[in-house]
Amino acid sequence: MKSAVAITSKIHLNLNLNLRRNHLYSPLSRSIFRGKAKPVFQSPPLIRTHSSNPNPNPIMASSFKPEQARAPPALPLPTPPVTKFKVGLCQLSVTADKERNIAHARRAIEEAAEKGAKLIILPEIWNSPYSNDSFPVYAEDIDAGGDASPSTAMLSEVARLLKITIVGGSIPERSGDRLYNTCCVFGSDGKLIAKHRKIHLFDIDIPGKITFIESKSLTAGETPTIVDTDVGRIGIGICYDIRFQELAMIYGARGAHLICYPGAFNMTTGPLHWELLQRARATDNQLYVATCSPARDEGAGYVAWGHSTLVGPFGEVLATTEHAEDIIIAEIDYSILELRRTSLPLSKQRRGDLYQLVDIQRLNSQ
């Protein structure tokens, strides 16, 4: 399906540790609190209950305190509104003509809906070339809507007319004097139901390969985004967000059925990490992961890897494509989630006595 990629030189990917958003999530090791210091979140006392399905070693299981590995405790997986449905991943070509990009995206959405897709996902930065110079020029005032945001106005209208849910990739957003890389989610009534601003900005330097500093023009978002839709509970990340497993873990603990990552990986990191990261996020959290990339344009200043993909909760690639324009239609079956979680009961095997992921936003809202 994919051609082999020969790596002939050692590549150093400079991932700045400062990009981790410690005010949004905090992985704690309980072993460091054996002295005088105390954790920022004190979990409630463990309540032991009797089970009709006893563990072979209940004393050991109790001492592991799996329910305390997430703070606040993980939410149960909600019953989704539908069990099976089709998703459409629209891998679009992007040009410098914004009006053309909007019309082209609309046609792709309509085609995916005609093929039965109830959830449609667009790529990262689908209405604009991907460059720091282009972001200010193509940016839209999403909150103002209407003529101030023709891209989201189109998404709202087509979602309402076709009665579908749209994860609208991302576009440059202008809010006051700041720019964001923003994904809008529209419900089947055409209403904006979520807006995710890219939390982890794409600032990398791989000598001799690629340097891109997104923070030269964009501001990082401040909020994880999870939304209940007609096709289940969906967590949203944008491209570089996929590298940070803490965000996906938060979505898993909040009961997500699916995480959508519009993304435009490049020709250096794409062959190495794109599929790997999707499968890792799906496997670790036992949920579906869907990604949507722009199609590859060899003549562009930034060349996307492509390969939009749907991954199942066992880390299996359910559908993918190569680098050209394409519309992938695939089925999501949420009944598989419980099956996989029963086969591998990770949530019951976590060591809350040793580590804990703190969802700071949920904790502060209590």
Give tens-digit pLDDT for 95-135.
999 999 999 999 999 999 999 999 999 999 999 999 999 99
CATH number reported for the structural domain that contains residue 267 in this entry: 3.60.110.10
Closest CA to 152 of 112, 195, 115: 195
The count of domains in the chain is 1
Residues labelled as active-site residues: 124, 198, 239
Domain assignment present for 9? no
Q: Which domain holds residue 86?
A: 79-364
Give the pLDDT of residue 39. 39
- The stretch 234-240 carries a mean pLDDT of 98
Domain assignment present for 23? no
Domain assignment present for 212? yes
Q: Evaluate if residue 37 carries a pLDDT over 70.
A: no
Mean pLDDT in the chain?
89
Q: Evaluate if residue 11 carries a pLDDT over 90.
A: no
Domain assignment present for 36? no
Q: How confident is the model at residue 60 (pLDDT cuts 50, 70, 90)?
A: low
Domain assignment present for 206? yes
For residue range 255-284, what is the model confidence (pLDDT) as tens digits? 999 999 999 999 999 999 999 999 999 999
Helix axes 150-162, 98-114, angle to 10 degrees: 20
- Do residues 230 and 81 make contact, with C-beta atoms less than 8 angstroms apart? yes
Q: Evaluate if residue 161 carries a pLDDT over 80.
A: yes
Domain assignment present for 53? no
| Cis peptide, bond prior to residue 72, ω within 30 of zero | yes
Domain assignment present for 83? yes
Q: What b/e readout covers 218-239, taking b as 16+ CB neighbours within 10 angstroms?
A: bbbbeebbbbbbbbbbbbbbbb
Give the pLDDT of residue 23. 76
- The stretch 167-184 carries a mean pLDDT of 98
pTM value is: 0.86
Question: Over pLDDT 70: what percentage of the chain?
Answer: 85
For residue range 321-364, what is the model confidence (pLDDT) as tens digits? 999 999 999 999 999 999 999 999 999 999 999 999 999 999 99
Domain assignment present for 8? no
Q: 3-state SS of the chain?
A: CCCCCCCCCCCCCCCCHHHCCCCCEEEEEHHHHCCCCCCCCCCCCCCCCCCCCCCCCHHHHHHHCHHHHEECCCCCCCCCCCCEEEEEEEECCCCCCHHHHHHHHHHHHHHHHHCCEEEEECCCCCCCCCCCCHHHHHCECCCCCHHHCHHHHHHHHHHHHHCCEEECCCEEEEECCEEEEEEEEECCCCCEEEEEECCCCCEEEECCCEEEEHHHCCCCCCCCEEEEECCEEEEECCHHHHHCHHHHHHHHHCCCCEEEEECCCECCHHHHHHHHHHHHHHHHHCCEEEEECCCCCCCCCCCECCCCEEECCCCCEEEECCCCCEEEEEEEECHHHHHHHHHCCHHHCCCCCCEEEEEHHHHHHC
- Do residues 217 and 241 make contact, with C-beta atoms less than 8 angstroms apart? no
331: tokens are 């089925």
Rg (CA), the chain: 21
User: Which residue type sits at 350?
Assistant: R
Give the pLDDT of residue 31. 43
